[in-house]
Amino acid sequence: MDEGTRFLILALASENYALPITRLMEITQPREIRKDPNLTELFEGKFEFRGKLIPVLNAKKVLKISGKPGTTLLVVKSMKGLLGLLVDAVIEILETEQKPVPMPKGVMNPSLRHYSGILRYKKNLVLLLNEEGLLP
């Protein structure tokens, strides 16, 4: 039986986004994020997770969405290692048989890899974040 795929639906400002659940390690609150001058301004600093320091990306800054950094911290697996991602809120886990629709041509510079597709969620479209493409 096809079980479909599960996605975490999350909020950044007034819009929802999705992340493949297989990439998600933990949902937590950002405490003690240590500033690190070696990181670019897209990062809020570093955070200790299971004894290791991992970089924390401000998802809003990465997508050039205005507003304060989010108050929910996602720990995400990327090919370059663990990554913290600050988002505004987690909404729910969506289980769906949808295949993400590719981003239509002409929308954005093809060299930008921030999204891996589009999903339909509650009569709206959500952008599927590509954890690899978010990293600078």
Partner 1 sequence: MISSYLVFRLSGRLFGVKLLGAIEILPWRGSRPVPLSYSYVEGLIDYRGNIYPVFNLTKRLGMSSPGPIGFTAGQQAQADAVQSIILLEENKTLFGVIVDTVVKMIKLEEPGPDEVSGTTQGVDAKYVKGIANEDDQEILILDFERLLHAG
Phi, psi of 11 (to 5 degrees): -115, 140
Q: Which of 1, 50, 124, 136 binds partner 1 (CB under 8 A)?
A: 124
In which element (H, E) is residue 43 found? strand 43-49
Which range of residues in 23-31, 36-44, 84-92, 108-116 is near partner 1 by CB under 8 A? 108-116
Using CB under 8 A as the binding rule, whether residue 99 contacts partner 1 is answered as: no
Do the Cβ atoms of 94 and 18 come closer than 8 Å? yes
Using CB under 8 A as the binding rule, whether residue 101 contacts partner 1 is answered as: yes
Which range of residues in 1-9, 28-36, 49-57, 120-128 is near partner 1 by CB under 8 A? 120-128
* Single-letter amino acid, residue 80: K
Beta carbon of residue 63, minimum distance to partner 1 (angstroms, whole number): 4
Using CB under 8 A as the binding rule, whether residue 135 contacts partner 1 is answered as: no
Residues 6+ apart with CB under 8 A from 128: 7, 17, 18, 19, 20, 100, 115, 116, 117, 118, 119
Q: Which residues bind partner 1 (CB under 8 A)?
A: 15, 63-65, 101, 103-109, 112, 114-115, 118, 120, 124-125, 127
